[in-house]
């Protein structure tokens, strides 16, 4: 089984037999307690993301409990509910928890549980320590808060950790470079984009495409987003560009994806783009560099090829 996290000696054996709220951080970003919004093409509007705490973590009887949906949503672990049991699956591991029971089943083997799951305000609360040990999560308890570090959980196809996305937008005569640094979200976004190469059809390079709309042709693929996946050492690991089709400046809803490393093109879906938009609510884009530009294409070329020289 792929290593997901390793426990760094955290016991979470805290004194107190009363409920107390505990902040949760994932990759140094505090998990919000209110839903964040993202644009969904399906709804044609901004909608609430599922990446938030609908019930705050709690300290009860010396154990930190978190909503089971925190684990399921953020780490993309499916849950199968057969009341009163909840089954969590990740890679080759399967965990069965029973509400109110001090016994759990891990990969078919029964084991004792000193912090039984319980229901609070309609949400299933589970012990973070036990979940961590079962799925090898790397968790630390520091100054009254729980920190989850995902840096050891993901590797690219080349075996290199991806820890940020770099992108670029142009406004007038200026180019803005942006970074997105939630390791969890970055790697899940990479998985979404990479999966298109096996799930969707390979297509020919479009005749008309670019970053500046061409109003003289009927169909044109306009650049929507760049995704330069960068390692912790600043090296390029992978690169994609997403384009949306326009019909005389009217968006048709058709998306295509360019793999910039191999210069191959693939169909893409609005569903996957919605998934990426929602994952981006886990962290935030930070503008890192502004520069005057002659044309975006010049800077796109130079920026991309400077990263290409560091390709792992």
Number of domains observed in the structure of the chain:
2
Structural domain includes residue 282: yes
Q: With beta carbons less than 8 A apart as the criterion, state whether 37 and 49 touch.
A: yes
Same domain for 137 and 202? no
Same domain for 120 and 172? no
Same domain for 302 and 187? yes
CA–CA gap between residue 4 and residue 114 (Å, rounded): 23
Which pTM value belongs to this model?
0.81
The pLDDT score that the predictor gives to residue 177 is 66
Same domain for 123 and 174? no
User: Average pLDDT of each block of 10 consecutive residues along the chain (312 residues)?
Assistant: 35 42 86 92 94 87 88 89 91 90 95 91 88 79 84 65 75 64 87 94 95 84 90 86 91 95 96 95 76 52 57 55
* Domain span holding position 185: 162-308
**Longest Cα pair distance anywhere in the chain, in angstroms?**
71
Same domain for 135 and 240? no
**What are the helix (H) ranges across the chain?**
68-74, 128-134, 183-199, 270-279, 296-308
């Amino acid at each position: 089984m792929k290593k997901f996290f390793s426990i760094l000696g955290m016991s979470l054996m805290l004194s107190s037999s009363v409920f107390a709220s505990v902040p949760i951080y994932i990759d140094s970003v505090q998990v919000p307690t209110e839903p964040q919004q993202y644009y969904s093409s399906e709804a044609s509007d901004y909608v609430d993301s599922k990446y938030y705490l609908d019930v705050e973590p709690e300290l009860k009887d010396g154990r930190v409990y978190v909503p089971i949906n925190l684990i399921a949503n953020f780490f993309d672990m499916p849950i199968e509910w057969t009341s009163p049991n909840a089954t969590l699956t990740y890679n080759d591991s399967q965990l069965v928890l029973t509400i109110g029971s001090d016994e759990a089943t891990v990969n078919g083997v029964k084991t004792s549980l000193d912090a039984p799951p319980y229901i609070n305000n309609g949400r299933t609360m589970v012990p973070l320590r036990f979940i961590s040990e079962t799925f090898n999560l790397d968790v630390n308890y520091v100054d009254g808060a729980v920190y989850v570090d995902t840096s050891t959980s993901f590797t690219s196809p080349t075996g290199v950790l991806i820890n940020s996305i770099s992108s670029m937008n142009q406004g007038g005569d200026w180019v803005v470079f942006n970074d997105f640094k939630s390791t969890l979200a970055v790697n899940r976004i990479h998985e979404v984009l990479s999966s298109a190469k096996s799930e969707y059809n390979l297509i020919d390079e479009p005749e008309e495409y670019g970053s500046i709309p061409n109003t003289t042709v009927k169909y044109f693929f306009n650049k929507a987003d760049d995704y330069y996946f960068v390692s912790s050492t600043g090296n390029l690991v992978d690169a994609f560009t997403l384009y949306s089709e326009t019909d005389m400046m009217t968006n048709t809803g058709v998306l295509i994806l360019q793999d910039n490393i191999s210069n191959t093109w693939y169909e893409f879906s609005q569903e996957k783009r919605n998934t990426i938009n929602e994952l981006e609510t886990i962290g935030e884009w930070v503008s890192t560099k502004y520069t005057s530009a002659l044309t975006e294409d010049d800077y796109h070329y130079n920026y991309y090829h400077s990263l290409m020289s560091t390709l792992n």
